[in-house]
Amino acid sequence: MIDGFEQVGGVHPGFRRNHAKGVCISGSFESNGQGVSWSRAAAFAPGQMPVVGRFSLGGGNPQMPDEPTAVLAMGLSLRPPGGEEWRMAMIHLPVFVVKDVQGFYEQLLASKPDPATGKPDPSKLAAFAAAHPEFVRTMQVIKDGPSPSGFATANYNSLNTFRFVNAAGAGVPVRWSMVASVASAPAAPEQGKSPDKSYLFDDVIARLARGPLQWHLIVTLAQPGDVTNDPTVPWPADREHVDVGTLTINRAETEAPGNCRDVVFDPLVLPWGIEPSDDPMLSARSATYSESFRRREGERKTPSAIQVPVAGRGS
């Protein structure tokens, strides 16, 4: 999988093999105590804890230009007192585009730019789509929905299913989303024409310089029979949603030692009270993130494309 990312996105020493272009963020998570009914995780005890995170774009090129079709991502590490850390890696898409890791690998190779045109070979993409009917369905869902105008207004989704276990040992499958407090404005068509190749990052850095940004952590509880092993299948809209707390991001920082740079936002770094579901994509993700981390940690670091001015800090 990682060789595939390198083949398509190139080898960029020191950078993540996917979601290579990014910026570090930090702030806090304030739990309101509502999550305690479903999970005994320390992060759900009422109170505040520090958070380290990262905004990024999907793709292996750390210099890729920002564009309206980019996949916006948020990696987070919640650090409650006592060390029961909870890491997550979420994206803005409402569903994942393929149902398993093999499909993701094949999609990656099919979308490799043809050196002659600089664009993916349409015949390879068509062959991939024909072999993956779920890709055709999920791309339609994504096209029918609004694209977010930026990192600050996007909602970020776990997509894969996890399992919450409470103090009595009762478990329930869950998915979660960070839902932006700023009303989600759809992207304006002129955004993609910006001469600024990092307009999405520059926007969120400028907003953080003016003040903090917030998201609500909304947990969705499954009903018996809901699909737990396939992130391309959305759950019915009437499932119970619980607001368990507020994420406040108040600072953006250039990737550097000691901040998000050397963190791997592995979705299986989970605290007691949150477990993987039966979705095999989770262990595939974990293994792939580890291999990316292993390679990039052993390389000389080159400066990130996203440089945050020291004044670019919220309060």
What residues numbered 159-178 form the site for ligand HEM, per CB under 6 A?
159-160
H/E element, 110 = helix 101-110
Mapped onto helix, strand or coil, the DSSP state of residue 215 is strand
In this structure, are residues 155 and 180 in contact, taking their beta carbons and an 8 Å threshold?
yes
What residues numbered 248-277 form the site for ligand HEM, per CB under 6 A?
264-265
Q: Does 99 bind ligand HEM (CB under 6 A)?
A: no
Interface mask toward ligand HEM for 217-246; x: CB under 6 A: --------------x---------------
Residues forming beta bridges with residue 242, ordered by sequence position: 219
Q: Does 23 bind ligand HEM (CB under 6 A)?
A: no
What residues numbered 283-312 form the site for ligand HEM, per CB under 6 A?
284-285, 288-289, 292-293, 296
When the beta carbons of 44 and 265 are compared against ligand HEM, the nearer one is 265
19 is catalytic: yes
Closest CA to 6 of 59, 72, 68: 59
d(CA 114, CA 100): 25
Q: Does 95 bind ligand HEM (CB under 6 A)?
A: no
C-beta of 43: minimal distance to ligand HEM in Å?
A: 18
Torsion on CA atoms 103, 163, 72, 259, rounded to nearest 10: -120
Closest CA to 305 of 220, 198, 213: 198
Which residues in this chain contact ligand HEM in the complex, by CB under 6 A?
1, 16-19, 22, 54, 56, 73, 75, 89-91, 96, 101, 104, 158-160, 231, 264-265, 281, 284-285, 288-289, 292-293, 296
